[in-house]
Structure 1
Amino acid sequence: MDLRIQRCVVSHLRTRPKVLEIGPFVAGLDPDTESPFINYASPEPGVPITAADVTDLVAAFTGAGRKPRLEYVTSCSPGLEDLLTAAGFTVEERNQYLICLPERLNAHPVPDGLVLEEPSTDPDRAAVVAAQNAAFGDLPDERPEAAVARMRRNQERGGVVLGARTADGRWVGGGQGAPPSDGVSEVAGIAVIESFRRRGVGAAISAGVASRLFDRGVTVAWLEASGDDSWRVYERVGFAPAGHRLYISREV
């Protein structure tokens, strides 16, 4: 499973507006934002990596005006962390990822007064983005229209975007699934504004995104949980721990 997830990560990076192939690394960059959570690299699984490759990676990121950063499944490049720390990288997080298979998915009812919809216009996409940012407490470092364009591209390439909307048209949360790669898709951005939490909205969105991905032929949906509360939500939906990923970066 680790290998399939890592291949999915690399494939997804290759859909970014600017792609850099740096020896064994693939970097996906977006000129509309400097966010390190969008601009990062990941190694091709099983490809040998040297200290010189890491040096080239740092040079490519700094040349592009971006912070050198990687996300990857640790078992697929077991010696990479030592090379990175020797080059001045610092571990940000070590996370377990969770997976869900179609037969494990548990449907969750949508709470009364809400509907789940895929936003089909840019104003609706902007409203979903705003709800996600409010839920995460983020101060975006990009123009709102850039996030909307990224969401639209995700849908156009076969990914899923799902929002929760009240009867009067207010979007209160959302989430998305990346365009599938070899039957694998990442679920991300599951968020609900504070006043609508603890009603089952997050579980309904998570299950809805996964269900739509499975309907489109995905056989493995995966995600990472940001805390104990979200972990419990995802387990109720049908996700289970499967492997480990590393976030690591270097200050410029």
Structure 2
Amino acid sequence: MITRVDTYLHSVPLSGAVAEQVGPFTLFRSTTVWPYYARPVPGSDVTIKPDDVELVRARCAELEIPLSFEWVVDTCPSLGPAAAAAGLTVVEHPLLVLERDDFRPVVADARVEILSADEDVVRAARAVANLAFSDPGTAVGAAGPAERDAAAAETRDDMVATLSDRARRGISVTAGAFTDDGMVASGTHQPVDSATEIVGVGTLPSMRRRGLGAAVTSALVEHALSHGVDLVLLSAESDAVAAVYERVGFHRIGSAGAAE
């Protein structure tokens, strides 16, 4: 299972990047509006050393792109210590999966639906996610519909156009939860063959503790399973956030690492 997850995570950046081998890593050079990262090659069983990290640092400097790494800790446990020794900040997050028989649908007091590629809809979904991740955690916060509308107006046009294009091509599928105040939660899944990853699930801070994130996740899982996917994965910010996904049927299989 974790090998399959690692393989998926190595293929999903290719929708927006080109791959280049740098030592024991694949460096994904972005062709879109957000940066990517380097990953250890799945199945290589290599022990990563600080000098290997420095190879990627030098190449990123040459290309004038940010230096960052993502990996599955359980398949490459040496990368975290090597990245830390090279002066990078290293974090680990719970890595969870769900298979078809695990799925437990969740509903909330909101209308939840798969969103269109319309740019106004995409703009609102991006604004919800940005506000959610700028105030991380599960506690109720201050930002609400007014802040969402202001953030939507400030969202870059090139970002919106890119997200709309990805939605039209099926590279990403986004769901939103709606109340009388408009869109209050959103999230996305990114299918590649028969696996997909759920990313960017967020609720307006003022609307938390209402089950909206779990309901959006549930809608994304349902969509994925009805379109040929049999494995859904995600990484959670923390154990508290992982508990939200466990309501839908996800269970932990390891840890996802990131360094920058």
Residue 185 (str. 1) matches residue 182 (str. 2): no
CA contact (8 A) 2:129 2:201 kept: yes
Q: How does 1:86-165 map to 2 (within 5 A)?
A: 86=85, 88-112=86-110, 114-137=111-134, 144-155=156-167, 156-165=169-178
1:173 aligned residue (175, 181, 185)? 185
SS in 2 for 1:76: coil
Amino acid corresponding to residue 64 of structure 1 in structure 2: L
CA contact (8 A) 1:96 1:243 kept: yes
CA contact (8 A) 2:201 2:213 kept: yes
Q: How many corresponding residue pairs? A: 241
CA contact (8 A) 2:115 2:173 kept: yes
1:6 Cα deviation after fit: 1.1
Aligned residue for 2:141?
none
> 2: CA distance between counterparts of 1:110 and 1:76?
37
1:160 Cα deviation after fit: 1.6
SS in 2 for 1:75: coil
> 2: CA distance between counterparts of 1:85 and 1:108?
39
CA contact (8 A) 1:72 1:245 kept: yes
1:192-242 per-position Cα deviation (integer Å, ceiling 9, x unaligned): 112322221111101111111111111111112223442221111111111
Aligned residue for 1:63?
62
1:5 Cα deviation after fit: 1.2
Q: In terms of mean alpha carbon deviation, does 74-83 or 214-223 score higher?
A: 74-83
Amino acid corresponding to residue 251 of structure 2 in structure 1: A
Aligned residue for 2:255?
244
Gaps of 5+ in 1: none
TM-score by length of 1: 0.83
- Aligned in 2, Cα 1:167/1:84: closer, same or farther, shift over 3 Å? closer
> 1: CA distance between counterparts of 2:211 and 2:98?
18
> 2: CA distance between counterparts of 1:164 and 1:178?
18
> 1: CA distance between counterparts of 2:56 and 2:207?
43
Residue 39 (str. 1) matches residue 36 (str. 2): yes
SS in 2 for 1:28: strand
Aligned residue for 1:24?
24
CA contact (8 A) 1:91 1:246 kept: no
> 2: CA distance between counterparts of 1:129 and 1:90?
28
Amino acid corresponding to residue 186 of structure 2 in structure 1: G
CA contact (8 A) 1:13 1:27 kept: no
Aligned residue for 1:196?
207
Aligned residue for 2:138?
none
> 1: CA distance between counterparts of 2:47 and 2:242?
33
- Aligned in 2, Cα 1:50/1:136: closer, same or farther, shift over 3 Å? closer
Gaps of 5+ in 2: 136-150
Aligned residue for 2:245?
234
2:234 aligned residue (223, 227, 244)? 223
Q: In terms of mean alpha carbon deviation, does 44-53 or 98-107 score higher?
A: 44-53
TM-score by length of 2: 0.81
Q: In percent, how many aligned pairs have the same letter?
A: 25
CA contact (8 A) 1:27 1:40 kept: yes
> 1: CA distance between counterparts of 2:239 and 2:79?
29
1:56-97 per-position Cα deviation (integer Å, ceiling 9, x unaligned): 3212211222231111012322433444344x1434212220
CA contact (8 A) 1:187 1:223 kept: yes
Amino acid corresponding to residue 97 of structure 2 in structure 1: I
